[in-house]
Amino acid sequence: MAKLPVAEENIVTKFGPHKNYSPKDGYPGRDEPDALVKTHCCFCGMQCGIQLSVKDNKVVGFEPWMEFPFNEGRLCPKGVQRYLQNNHPDRLLSPLKRVEGQGFVPTSWDEAMSKTVSEIKRIQEKYGNDAFSMLSGVSLTNEKSYLVGKFARVALKTKNLDYNGRLCMVSAGAGNKKAFGLDRASNNYSDLEYAEVIIVAGANISETFPTLTHWIWKARDRGAKIIVIDPRMIPLARTADIHLDVRPGTDSALYGAMLKYLVDNDMLDHDFIDNYTSGFQETIDAVKDYTLEWAEEVTGINKNKIREAAELWGKAKTSFLLHARGIEHHSKGVDNVVGCINLVLATGRIGRPYCGYGTITGQGNGQGGREHGHKCDQLPGNRDIENPEHRKYISEVWGINEKDMPGKGLSAYEIIEAIHRGEIKGLISICFNPLVSLPNSNYVREALEKLEYYVCIDFFLNETARHADIVLPGSLQEEEEGTTTSAEGRVIRIRQAVTPPGDARTDTSIILEIAKRLGVEDKFTYEDSEAIFNELRVASKGGTADYNGITYKRIEDNMGIFWPCPTEDHPGTPRLWEDKKFKTPDGKAHFNPAPYKLPGEVTDVDYPVILTTGRVVSQYLSGTQTRRIGKLVDQYPEPLLEIHPKLAQQFGIKQRELIKVSTRRGEGIFPANIVETIREDTVFIPYHWSGKKSANQLTPGTLDPISKIPEFKVCACHLEPLNEIAPPSKESTAYASV
Amino acid sequence: MNYTSFNKNEEFFVDMQRCIGCKACEMACAECETNGQESLIHVNYVDRASTVQTTVQVCMHCDDPVCANVCPADAISKDENGIVHTANTERCIGCSNCVMACPFGVPKKEESYDLMMKCTMCFDRTSVGKKPMCATVCPSGALFFGTRAEIQEMRPNSTPINTFIFGQEVVNTKVNIMMPKGSTELIIY
């Protein structure tokens, strides 16, 4: 019964989002805190060091942590304001149950747990184990991610577990495994400092990873040339040496043409290609017709700019290539990723100082979370759930019979599709807000309404949780001990600064309690988070993501350890591939052909404009946290439709006029922001908002066939000006839109 | 005031070309206990319709501060370290003379308090050996607080300047603006 119990507006009134502001004079005790807790930001993959000020078991402020080497005190606005998620009026303080006509009312832990366990058993007995699914997320620590993976397979005994990293790094992960046999950024960010040329592809660093800007600018101060590939003139592109304003959905054509240029002009590292790679010939055969003229036609980028970029890249002695969701959120996300890697391998600039490559992992623990837990096809240590040896090893660690280990399950969006088809009947979610973050939200809502039982663990009542039968109040990042792994592959310590308020409990204790009630207490008993980490170390041992040699003490003593780290006397691995021994079966780095293909949806007469989506600096993902922090909301109060003046003129659109944007999936109304900083054929809407303000009403559920990532970054839309000017942004209530 | 730890070798440097408009500085500035959740540093788009370029404005802490000179209530003072302090709340009459006189447009009248408020270079932090909050958190180095030797080593292509020419008026400031290498002054037309 997963329909809303009362009108959604009533749920919002009670549970938010409400905007939280600090009192004018700060929280009491801020100036004399009981403790300054050295930990990390709860948001993106940079995992900036920060000190939280604690008074009387409340987080009352922050103080920069100058010694943490990646950010040395630097923060973005989200980091500065992150402490306001604690002390928040929307915080869930007791378990809630859905009561038809009344909404969500408090209930006891015992009743909430009993109901949950009896519904899990009922559904699994009636429809089979796999009819109960789990969706998780990588804001969770390594310990929780590992625990969720084990919980789904050993306690729930379902194969259908997946996670919100499916919307994030999976294309990069799949591409890296194809090319290198391992999924991690090859270098830490200090290798940017003396890179001669830096390519940033589909990564709005200044808004999504602001503290990484420091390292890019540092390289520029040393004379580095910066090439930014993005359909918009993002802040980083404004002062870049070359801005390649790519038409959304055509990235692989650009990389293919650049590779052909390197081949035609012999800007290749033949020694590296001959001795340490495979697949070169078929890869360059795939791009043999990709002339600069052809690329200009396909990508919309002036061919001289493509040539200049290829020249710079070809002639450089050192370089770094970074990419993120802009090239990965595509039905050919993996092709785009291997297209980038081909440029790196062709020039042999990897595994040496200031020669780097990597995806910029988006979520706080996007790196660690995807290695050890809740990916539908994976076991800890980045092992393969279908590999007999891997299954055997993890079964032994978990004390189960290998034949009882579920196989490969459905990916996140496929789970929603299976719910929609009626094949999956039950869902438990933690740290995932699919109603806002998945594409085609009208379809996602229909699916949620078909669930027979849905239990959500979260600290706020996010939009998806409004469809739950039971809500279990969980914990914030700063309420449990643990570790995360930053985008650099650095394993770091998350500290418990405070305990959960009211009757809220730690996520770990909630999962352990459900496991106990499902009859597997013997496999889910841990003294503390460190005990879970120590089991993770053993589980990861011998896998590509080997944490065996990493201990809490070593992390604390060294401000982080880079995996792989197989033994306690191993220093960790800040830079991969120095030995040029890759983790592929043949030990070589693999070129992979990446021929250009059309995106899943192209423009036509009915839907003549390209729509792309992305983020703004003051919001984070589905906004469960950041749409509740007053100043972050006020900085960018509502989603705006960015449109070039020429396209605006074509549709007769005026500044801040309300525009109905329609696609084959749905429609939404957004004020126009007419700016020259976007391609003339493309409009942009940021996606952090809910309900009728959600960009994901419009986006398609087309998936990459390998990574299963949805194609958020390109679809076709129609624009209709409504002849009405929007009220001022500061009056907007989009943060709580239903 | 006691400035036992104020390091006179450390200076403030602003580099507009590095600003990414994220407003971490505004958020952090407002957290200061003396600011009542108001930011005294201001980030603005130059012209969002044509560019994402932003400017960031702190108090420049003039050698001969016009704001103090035009204050009828003697509410604004400059100390021995060259820091021009925000209006003394007991003296400020909210007349806005300083707001109109400042060549950089720094002081703002906070209507809710009927007071002028402006940046004091975080005297509560700088006086105990810390860096100002905005320059600490700035993720792009648009704001930097440190020694002249440090910035010259870090930014070999830029020169800090602190002489501004407004028509006939020459204004020298404690805060530096990073300009192309070899620059000596900034002329504002």
Token pair belonging to B149:
């030797």
- Asked if A25 lies within 8 A of B33 by C-beta distance, the reply is yes
In the 8-state DSSP scheme, what is residue A342?
H
Chain B environment of A243 (Cβ under 8 Å): none
Choose among A574, A632, A476, A526: nearest CA to A40: A476
Q: What is the per-residue pLDDT for B114?
A: 77
Domain A96-168+365-562 grouped into CATH 3.40.50.740: yes
Averaged confidence pLDDT in chain B? 91
Of A23, A75, A221, Cβ closest to residue B24: A75
pLDDT at A261: 98
Whether A509 and chain B come into contact, CB under 8 Å, resolves to no
Does A30 touch chain B if contact means CB atoms closer than 8 Å?
Answer: yes
User: Would you call B23 and A618 a contact, using CB atoms and an 8 Å cutoff?
Assistant: yes
Q: Does B111 touch chain A (CB under 8 A)?
A: no
Binary contact (B139, A211; C-beta < 8 A): yes
Q: Please determine, for residue B4, whether its predicted confidence score (pLDDT) is greater than 70.
A: no
- Sorted by where each begins, the domain ranges of chain A are 19-85, 96-168+365-562, 170-359, 609-736
Picking from B22, B49, B136, the nearest residue to A64 by CB comes out as B136
Q: Six-digit token pair at A355? A: 């020669």
Per-residue pLDDT tens digits for A513-543: 999 999 999 999 999 999 999 999 999 999 9
Given a cut of 90, whether residue B184 has pLDDT beyond it is yes
Helices (H), A317-456: 325-328, 333-347, 366-372, 388-398, 412-420, 434-437, 441-449
| DSSP-derived secondary structure letter, B162 | E
Asked whether this chain's domains A96-168+365-562 and A609-736 adopt the same fold, the reply is: no
Does A213 touch chain B if contact means CB atoms closer than 8 Å? yes
Task: Answer whether A77 sits within 8 Å of B49, measured CB to CB.
Answer: no
Taking domain A609-736, whether its CATH number is 3.40.50.300 is answered by no
Which CATH code, of 3.40.50.300, 3.40.50.2300, 3.40.228.10, 3.40.50.970, is assigned to A170-359? 3.40.228.10
Residue B1 pLDDT greater than 50, yes or no: no
Question: Which domains occur in chain B, in start order?
Answer: 10-188 (3.30.70.20)
pLDDT score for B46: 95
**A617–B154: do the CB atoms touch at under 8 Å?**
no
Shortest Cα distance, chain A CAs vs residue B20, angstroms: 6
B contacts of A217 (beta carbons < 8 Å):
18, 140-141
What is the model's pLDDT at position A611?
A: 98
The answer, yes or no, to whether residue B3 has pLDDT greater than 80, is: no
The CA distances from residue A491 to A45, A46, A295, A548, in Å, are 12, 12, 41, 12
Spatial separation of the C-alpha atoms in residues A352 and A577, rounded to whole Å: 8
Q: Structure pTM?
A: 0.97
Q: Residues in chain A with pLDDT < 70?
A: 1
Residue of A nearest to B37 (CA): A24
**Dihedral sign computed on CA atoms, order A241, A245, A250, A253:** negative
Give A544-582 pLDDT, tens digit per residue.
Answer: 999 999 999 999 999 999 999 999 999 999 999 999 999
Closest Cα in chain B, distance from residue A219 (Å) = 10
Instruction: Name the H helices within chain B.
Output: 24-30, 66-70, 97-101, 123-126, 133-137, 148-154
Q: What ipTM describes this predicted complex?
A: 0.96
Q: Which residues of B touch A64 (CB under 8 A)?
A: 133, 136-137
Our CA-based measurement puts residue B32 at a distance from the nearest CA of chain A, in whole angstroms, of 9
DSSP for A127-181 reads H-GGGEEEEE-TTS-HHHHHHHHHIIIIIS--S-EEEGGGGTTHHHHHHHHHHHS
Mean pLDDT of B125-148: 95
CATH of domain A19-85: 3.30.200.210
Is the Cβ pair B141, A677 closer than 8 Å?
Answer: no
Q: What are the chain B neighbours of A636 within 8 Å (beta carbons)?
A: none
Distances (CA, A) of A590 to A183, A432, A488, A705: 14, 34, 22, 20
pLDDT in tens, B99-128: 999 999 888 887 777 788 888 899 889 888
CA A596 – CA A252 distance, rounded (Å): 5
Residue B163, pLDDT > 50, answer yes
